[in-house]
Amino acid sequence: MKEKDTAILLFHCPDRLGIVTEITKFITDNNGNIVYLDQYVDKLDHMFFMRVEWELDNFLIPADKISEYFDTLYCKRFDISFHLYFGNVKPRMAIFVSKMSHCLYDLLARYNAGELNVEIPCIVSNHEDLRYVAEQFGIPYYVWSINKDWSNKQEVEAAEMQMLRDLKVNFIVLARYMQIISDEMIASYPNRIINIHHSFLPAFVGAKPYHQAYQRGVKIIGATSHYVTAELDAGPIIEQDVVRITHKDTPDSLALKGKDLEKIVLSRAVKKHVERKVLTYKNKTIIFS
């Protein structure tokens, strides 16, 4: 059996007695060996959240039938919403970039070191500037320039989305991609577009957050990685971190300090997404350990 030959089930439902017993019984009755189980109860909303992973070696239900079985047995009974993944299937990640290289380099270095269990079929940009980085790692680099008046934006995104479908991309990472994603693309990848924003959201949304932080005189700055939604910089937050600053800092020094945070926070978020440890609910996330 391969090390990653497992099934991963993430679900949420109204909290009630017996859910854990029923789900674990379903797995063990079908010869599944549970290797991970984590759960959480939101007492305010009375909601139950769970991630369970089990080995598929000797599991009686074929992998392509597990979802159907689980749906039939439990979804209506417990009002469950679920996602099923398989540990031996590598997600295919597209990276979108503009001109800044720090987040791209960090992701590719971790990928090259085996820290991110993904495939990267493409890097997409609106500029030629970072082609040399893609070539260093042997990854195809595609450029679509968007006019300043956005007159070709719809055409460009249609071409990009067709390419993503052709390459069977599962999720997108915006590694300081300085373009607004259309509602159509967001709807095509719900909770599957990960962005890095260079502030501690919900503070300083939009453009030039380091300048906003400088003007406000804050004593910490942060970085936030979140899923992209139609509302700018307001999607479910996956990961955040902060660093202390002083009155001596300038917008330039804030940006320099922030770059270290940005790449670390983004990589942490991507890793959690790839490991299927993120469950979204009401524009928030449950992050399993």
CB 123 within 8 A of CB 104: yes
Q: What is the pLDDT of residue 2?
A: 47
Strand arrangement, sheet containing 193-197? 141-143, 119-125, 92-97, 171-174, 193-197, 220-227, 237-244
CB 93 within 8 A of CB 169: yes
Please give the structure tokens belonging to residue 258: 């922030």
Please give the structure tokens belonging to residue 52: 């369970």
For residues 126 and 256, state if they share a domain. Answer: yes
For residues 33 and 126, state if they share a domain. Answer: no
Using CB atoms within 10 A of its CB, is residue 53 exposed (0-12), middle (13-18) or buried (19+)? Answer: buried
Please give the structure tokens belonging to residue 193: 């577009």
* DSSP helix/strand/coil, 19: helix
Q: What is the CATH number of the domain that holds 102?
A: 3.40.50.170
Q: What is the pLDDT of residue 146?
A: 84
- The values of phi and psi at residue 221, to 5°, are -120, 160
Q: What is the pLDDT of residue 149?
A: 81
Q: N- to C-terminal Cα distance for the chain?
A: 25
Number of domains in the chain: 2
Going by C-alpha positions, the residue among 118, 10, 6, 15 that lies closest to residue 59 is: 6
For residues 69 and 209, state if they share a domain. Answer: no
In a domain, 1, yes or no: no
Strand arrangement, sheet containing 47-55? 33-42, 47-55, 6-14, 81-86
Residue of 233, 241, 249, 260 marked catalytic? 233
For residues 138 and 185, state if they share a domain. Answer: yes
Domain of 61 in residue numbering reads as 6-86
For residues 134 and 49, state if they share a domain. Answer: no
For residues 105 and 119, state if they share a domain. Answer: yes
Residue tagged 């956005």 (tokens): 150
Q: Which of 45, 63, 86 is the last residue of a domain?
A: 86
For residues 150 and 263, state if they share a domain. Answer: yes
Q: What is the pLDDT of residue 55?
A: 97
How far is it, in rounded angstroms, from Cα 42 to Cα 230? 26
Q: pLDDT tens, position by position, for the chain (289 residues)?
A: 346 699 999 999 999 999 999 999 999 999 999 999 999 999 999 999 999 999 999 999 999 999 999 999 999 999 999 999 999 999 999 999 999 999 999 999 999 999 999 999 999 999 999 999 999 999 999 999 888 888 888 899 999 999 999 999 999 999 999 988 999 999 999 999 999 999 999 999 988 999 999 999 999 999 999 999 999 999 999 999 999 999 999 999 999 999 999 999 999 999 999 999 999 999 999 999 9
In a domain, 235, yes or no: yes
For residues 103 and 122, state if they share a domain. Answer: yes
Q: What is the CATH number of the domain that holds 63?
A: 3.30.70.260
Q: What is the pLDDT of residue 153?
A: 87
To the query of whether residue 79 is one of the catalytic residues in this protein, the response is no
Element (H, E) at 119: strand 119-125
Compute CA distances 54 → 29, 48, 121, whole Å. Answer: 12, 20, 29
- The values of phi and psi at residue 284, to 5°, are -130, 170
